[in-house]
Amino acid sequence: EIVMTQSPATLSLSPGEIATLSCRASQSVSSNLAWYQQKPGQAPRLLIYRASTRATGIPARFSGSGSETEFTLTISSLQSEDFAVYYCHQYNNWPRGTFGQGTKVEMK
């Protein structure tokens, strides 16, 4: 099983700041990685797929980068609605994908 490790567990930032979230795979997943946002009491929402492609309707302040084992989700200027938990998800060994444990972006 491919293990996905996200860091940090919690990120404390203020609105307007840049958020940088990391996701590391235990082996190469090529560019087969997605990012999801989850707010309390809600289902996850797809933000990014194929490591860097924004899903439909996702604002341009969200960007993804990386390949193989190292990936980054960047939120260029945090808005109040961006405070949430973010998960990475590898689907390289489809369909048996695995998720990271999540990074919580909280307001400082």
Partner 1 sequence: QLQLQESGPGLVKPSETLSLTCTVSGDSITSRSSYWGWIRQPPGKGLEWIGSFIYSGSTYYNPSLQSRVRISVDTSKNQFSLSLSSVTAADTAVYYCARQYNWNYFDLWGQGTMVTVSS
User: Using CB under 8 A as the criterion, which residues of the chain lie in contact with partner 1 when the complex forms?
Assistant: 1, 32, 34, 36, 42-46, 49, 55, 87, 89, 91, 94-102
Smallest separation (angstroms) from partner 1 to the CB of 14: 25
Nearest to partner 1 of 19, 88 (CB atom):
88
Q: How many residues does the chain have?
A: 108
Nearest to partner 1 of 17, 38 (CB atom):
38
Smallest separation (angstroms) from partner 1 to the CB of 77: 25
CB 66 within 8 A of CB 28: no
Nearest to partner 1 of 13, 55 (CB atom):
55
Smallest separation (angstroms) from partner 1 to the CB of 79: 22
Nearest to partner 1 of 65, 77 (CB atom):
65
Rounded Cα distance between 59 and 75, Å, is 10
Beta sheet of 4-7, edge-to-edge order: 4-7, 19-25, 70-75, 62-67
Phi-psi map region of 98: left, alpha, beta (phi>0 left; psi -120 to 50 alpha): beta
